[in-house]
Amino acid sequence: EAQVTQNPRYLITVTGKKLTVTCSQNMNHEYMSWYRQDPGLGLRQIYYSMNVEVTDKGDVPEGYKVSRKEKRNFPLILESPSPNQTSLYFCASRSRGRGETQYFGPGTRLLVL
Amino acid sequence: GQSLEQPSEVTAVEGAIVQINCTYQTSGFYGLSWYQQHDGGAPTFLSYNALDGLEETGRFSSFLSRSDSYGYLLLQELQMKDSASYFCAVSLNTPLVFGKGTRLSVIA
């Protein structure tokens, strides 16, 4: 089954404690991205990657890091989480091409105390 | 940069037709997509317009006019299960850029 997986699905942490949210896709997609979703603000892009070892900032990259060492994985790293990073996070992937469908993971709900 | 504008909320009656508009300011995009998101779920693909005109997929249709920088999603024969948020998105040579979404409430 074609899918994007994320872990963990839910996470409660404290300010300053480093965390990683994993993302993996099994569709051999070139493009992967991370979004955060907050009420009234829609889906805002954090970082994206167009292929292995190629990453770039989205609209809200501050406080986040990513890496793309393998095509299937695109982890999101919060080195020192703060309460304003409390949000719902989605990983997504799609194939290179003009009209290709973008597939989303199930989401990770993060609470930073 | 890119920006997409959608109404924040729309309410419609079960069985009726509703249109959700999307206006955009962006340069050099490939097409306009629409995604649906139910509460607690992930966005899922509905429709894509690469060319101007209407694309129909069952009860859902989507329209694009590049000259007017405008598109819309048309939902017919509304059902209660259509209550969700709907996002328009532009397709560039990167992952998609989304509007802020329109929350559709279908009432009996």
Which amino acid is residue A19, in one-letter code?
L
A94: nearest CB among B42, B87, B95: B95
Out of A24-33, B26-35, B45-54, pick the least confident.
Answer: B26-35
Kindly report the average pLDDT of chain A as a whole number.
94
The pLDDT confidence band at residue B96, using thresholds 50, 70 and 90, is confident
The pLDDT > 90 percentage for chain A reads 87
Average pLDDT over residues B50-63: 94
A-B interface: how many C-beta pairs under 8 angstroms?
A: 59
Enumerate the residues of chain A whose CB falls inside 8 A of the CB of residue B42. 90, 104-107
**pLDDT reported for residue B26:** 77
pLDDT digits (tens, 9 = 90+) for B61-79: 999 999 999 999 999 999 9
Enumerate the residues of chain B whose CB falls inside 8 A of the CB of residue A43. 43, 87, 98, 101
User: Of residues B12 and A2, which shows the higher confidence score?
Assistant: B12
pLDDT digits (tens, 9 = 90+) for A45-61: 999 999 999 999 999 99
Nearest CA in chain A to B30: A98
pLDDT digits (tens, 9 = 90+) for B19-40: 999 999 877 778 899 999 999 8
**pLDDT reported for residue B1:** 64
Residue A73 has pLDDT above 70, yes or no: yes
Rg over CA atoms, chain A: 13
Which amino acid is residue B24, in one-letter code?
Y
User: Of residues B72 and A99, which shows the higher confidence score?
Assistant: B72
A43: nearest CB among B33, B94, B98: B98
Best CA proximity match to A47, nearest among A34, A38, A37 = A34
Which amino acid is residue B99, in one-letter code?
G
**pLDDT reported for residue A111:** 98
d(CA A52, CA A110): 26
Q: Residue A30 corresponds to which tokens in the numbers above?
A: 């070139």
